[in-house]
Structure 1
Amino acid sequence: MEENEYKSTYHEIASIPCEFEKALTNNRARCACARHFWLADREGYACKSSLSSAKCHELLAKLRENSRFLLKLPQAGEKLPHNMEIRVQAGGISGIQALFDTTPGQRVEDIHALVEQAEAEYGSLERLPYNRIVQSVSRFQGRKGSKRRP
């Protein structure tokens, strides 16, 4: 499958994109609204709800903006390099979970439920304590690379 054909088919399957797809594919989280699929030996996720996708889009934009200084970015963009995006997604939702759960390092079992809980507790996604959440982005450690032998 050529890359253009792959992208076209991907967008058909994932007509509502999952904003936290990288966190899901890296097994850092799960979500009740996510629909898992495989396409040409690649894993992907789509969202079952346009409303949930919109909330997650808003949240992810706020996480990127508030992580900008930490990531040494002059401005927050829509897309980040892969490793930074995983760090923002996985570290960000882990930080939100830490606002409610004192057991650190647990996988987020339902992003949708967590976003709903955060919105109910703080009144809106705008009012979340991002200064505390970004600390989890800072502490986030991705997979360790394999050591190459000379």
Structure 2
Amino acid sequence: MDEPAYHASRRTINPSPCVFERAILADCAQCELARRHALAEREVVACSLEVARINCTTLESLFRERATFALRLPRPGVPLVHAKAMQLQCGGLRGLQAAVAAPTTDVHAMVKRAQLNDASLLDLPWEQIVSSIVAWQTRRRAPPPDS
């Protein structure tokens, strides 16, 4: 399947993509509201609750806003390279888990817990979360086996 056809099908099949799809597919997190679908030998993740998707969009925007300087991210509107997007999502969710003392990496549960504790995502301990974002590293590839 060619890329333009894939992306057109993706928008049709998955009109509400999960904001943290990359983190979920990389097993950095999970979400009770995530619904996985197979599409052209790939996997996509959809969000089953629009209010939760809005909360996650806000959270991801805050991750990017607060970590822009520390990660030297491009200006808003410019897409991130995959490694930076993974660092932002996985590191941010790890920092959120520590900040709200969540027992699991369930994104929806952590967001609900953060809103209960602080009433607003803006009031989270962002210094701690940004430190976690900066510290997160992708998994290193294994060296090639010697022949």
Q: Is the pair's TM-score, using the shorter chain for normalization, greater than 0.5? A: yes
The answer (yes or no) to whether the contact 2:91–2:135 under 8 Å persists in 1 is: yes
Matched with 2:113 is 117
**Distance in 2, Cα, partners of 1:60 & 1:36:** 20
**CA apart distance, 1:149:** 7.3
**Distance in 2, Cα, partners of 1:98 & 1:76:** 27
1:140 aligns with 2:141: no
Q: TM-score, normalised by structure 1?
A: 0.89
**CA apart distance, 1:127:** 1.3
Matched with 2:29 is 29
1:126 aligns with 2:144: no
The answer (yes or no) to whether the contact 1:13–1:46 under 8 Å persists in 2 is: no
Matched with 2:96 is 96
**Distance in 2, Cα, partners of 1:13 & 1:58:** 24
**Distance in 2, Cα, partners of 1:126 & 1:8:** 35
Matched with 1:67 is 67
Matched with 2:50 is 50
Q: TM-score, normalised by structure 2?
A: 0.90
Supply the AA of the counterpart residue of 1:121.
N
**CA apart distance, 1:43:** 1.5
**Distance in 1, Cα, partners of 2:142 & 2:70:** 25
Note the alpha carbon deviations across 1:57-80, whole angstroms, 9 max, x for none.
010000001111121125344631
Supply the AA of the counterpart residue of 1:126.
L
Aligned length: 146
The answer (yes or no) to whether the contact 1:61–1:78 under 8 Å persists in 2 is: no
Supply the AA of the counterpart residue of 1:120.
L
Point out 4+ residue stretches in structure 1 off by more than 2 angstroms: 73-79, 100-103, 145-150
Ranges in structure 1 where 5+ consecutive residues have no aligned partner: none
**Distance in 2, Cα, partners of 1:54 & 1:74:** 23
**Distance in 2, Cα, partners of 1:76 & 1:24:** 23
Q: 1:57 to 1:102 in 2, by over 3 A?
A: closer
The answer (yes or no) to whether the contact 2:36–2:44 under 8 Å persists in 1 is: yes
Note the alpha carbon deviations across 1:36-91, whole angstroms, 9 max, x for none.
11111112101101111111001000000111112112534463111100111011
**CA apart distance, 1:102:** 8.4
Ranges in structure 2 where 5+ consecutive residues have no aligned partner: none
